[in-house]
Structure 1
Amino acid sequence: MKLLKKMTFVFCAGMLSGGALAQENAPMLAQSCAGCHGQAGEGAGSIAAIAGYDRALFIATWEEFRNNERPATIMNRIAPGYSVDEVAILADYFASLE
């Protein structure tokens, strides 16, 4: 039982530190969006600006792409490749940009 408690603690501590580390790496994760949405999420032409995008709306829109519920040329193929945590990190990151 002690081993299980110790393993649970180590796992939870790792998850917490991993979450903090992931937030620090948000700009690196967001680089995958830059090819279409611009370096700062500014968008161009028919490509949506995602800088300053509302966090909840970002996540909801992402889920629509993931589930093929929103018309897209490429986002419906990209969206399934990201975890829920990664999408949340991206949503926080782009919501923080002006």
Structure 2
Amino acid sequence: MTTRLILAALWVLAAAPAAAQPSGAASCAGCHAPGGSGPVPSLEGRPAAEIAAAMAAFRSGERPATVMDRIARGFTDDETRAIAEWLAAGTHRDHAARP
């Protein structure tokens, strides 16, 4: 009985995501795929502050872009920070294979 409970608890922990994917974060993986498999550089290993600062620069027009300026304008500062922290933590890799 104890072994079954332990196995059930381990299964639940393994199935649970490390952190909930913030709203809008799925749009990042289309181009910035984990492992550099996307058409533009991966965001893996980048600090959250760097990602958030880049998004702010795209949003303000300070940093030139083809599409990121338009995408960045769709997010608030709070949403941008949440996405940046989620990407920096590496939890996006857990969701990469999920629909």
Matched, 1:42 2:36: yes
- Greater RCO (Cα-Cα under 8 Å, separation 6 or more): 2
Structure 1 36/83 Cα, relative in aligned 2: closer, same or farther at 3 Å?
Answer: same
Counterpart CA distance in 2 for 1:30 and 1:68 is: 21
Counterpart CA distance in 2 for 1:24 and 1:64 is: 26
Matched, 1:93 2:89: no
Identity of aligned residues (%): 37
Q: Which stretches of structure 1, 4 residues or more, deviate above 4 A after TM superposition?
A: none
Unaligned runs of 5+ in 2: 1-18, 94-99
One-letter amino acid of the structure 1 residue matched with residue 25 of structure 2: A
Structure 1 56/43 Cα, relative in aligned 2: closer, same or farther at 3 Å?
Answer: farther
8 Å CA contact 1:41–1:94 kept in 2: the answer is no
Matched, 1:75 2:77: no
CA RMSD of aligned residues (A): 2.2
More helix by share: 1
Q: How many residues align?
A: 73
Give TM-score scaled by structure 2 length: 0.63
Which residue does the alignment assign to 1:32?
A: 27
One-letter amino acid of the structure 2 residue matched with residue 34 of structure 1: A
Which residue does the alignment assign to 1:51?
A: 44
